[in-house]
Homo-oligomer: A and B are copies of this chain.
Amino acid sequence: MSGSPALIALDWGTSSLRGFLMDETGAVLEQRGSGHGIVNLPEPGLPGFEAAFDAMCGAWLDRFPGLPVVAGGMVGSAQGWREAAYADCPADARRLAAGAVEVGTGRGARILIAPGLVCRAPGAAPDVMRGEEIQIAGALLAHPELATRSLLVMPGTHSKWVEVEDGRITRFATYMTGELFAVLCRHSLLGRLMTDEAAAPEVAEAAFARGVAMARESLPGDLAHHIFAARTLGLTGELPGTALKDFLSALLIGHEVASGTRRAALDDTPLALIGEDTLCRRYGEVLRQCGSPPAVQLGNTAPAGLFHFAIAAGLVAPSASGAQETLP
């Protein structure tokens, strides 16, 4: 029951490029992937973007000339094809469409690039996202029950905690948890006692629970002290080297959860996890051990988000779209 092609949507990040050929309801008809992220183009500079685009979409455009094309992610950053300046919060798909920029290609295609978002909360440093706003637009299109009010947790190198109200992103905060974990394991003293071999499941679970428990009891400023335990627990033989990464990961995620849930004043706000499956399950377990209500776990919502962006930009007719009714 697939419809006819109505849109090409590109999820164009730092290290990879994913393309989706979609019908007028947002169903994915075909998809392609390449390693042509913005730091890994087939040639340097602007021609590299065009070459990567042609390699991925040329055949689609040959078969279906004139299809509209949208793109989101780092392709719109200052290092991207063309910069789409951060749009302000509160923001929804319409705000993304209003802040979009266009590029043209030699073959006559036009590509609408979504902006990132900036959050300027009073008295706080500004915060930014680029790429996640598309995933969020997809989550709200696919799960309209989250649009009224929700807290979206997006684990990753730079995790995002995103507050949604009335279909709009009202506020968000970034946590460098994933990158912190990586640099501590690779470049700090903490890596010395860690082994790559996995611990027995019950040992890993106990180390994980210990990290969460320590995080739950944290006072302001404790993190730089707490992480040293990933050394001393190894030194004193309380944890084997195989379990130190489990401990540190849980400790760092636990600190993030302690802060994120407190900042968002969770109460009975529906909570959703968006991102890579294994990492989302890890966050779900920390949330559970911290006494949070269960979070729904969403898959890859970027294609739906690009479709939502295309509708808001008027590139796909909402009247022809089965998804329209579910728009927040």
Contacts and interface: CB of A to CB of B under 8 A. Distances in A.
A251 to B, nearest CB: 10
Interface string A174-194: 111101100110111110000
Contact of A225 (B175, B227, B232): B175
A278 interface: no
A169 B215 CA distance: 26
Given A256-B224, A263-B219, A233 B126 contact: yes
Contacts of A158: 189, 228
B187 A236 contact: no
Nearest to A120: B236
Nearest to A252: B224
Contacts of A127: 228, 232
Contacts of A183: 183-184, 187-188
A126 B210 CA distance: 13
Interface in A170-227: 173-177, 179-180, 183-184, 186-190, 214-215, 218-227
Nearest to A216: B220
Contact of A255 (B175, B221, B232): B221
B184 A125 contact: no
A222 B259 contact: yes
A267 interface: no
A218 B218 CA distance: 12
Contacts of A176: 188-190, 224-225, 227-228
A232 B128 contact: yes
A257 interface: yes
Given A126-B232, A220-B258, A222-B259, A189 B184 contact: no
Question: Top 10 closest A-B pairs, CB basis?
Answer: A221-B259, A221-B258, A125-B229, A221-B255, A223-B223, A175-B224, A218-B220, A174-B228, A187-B187, A183-B187
Given A219-B220, A220-B262, 4 more contacts: A173-B225, A176-B225, A221-B223, A224-B255
10 contacts: A125-B232, A128-B235, A174-B232, A175-B228, A176-B189, A180-B224, A220-B222, A221-B260, A223-B223, A225-B256
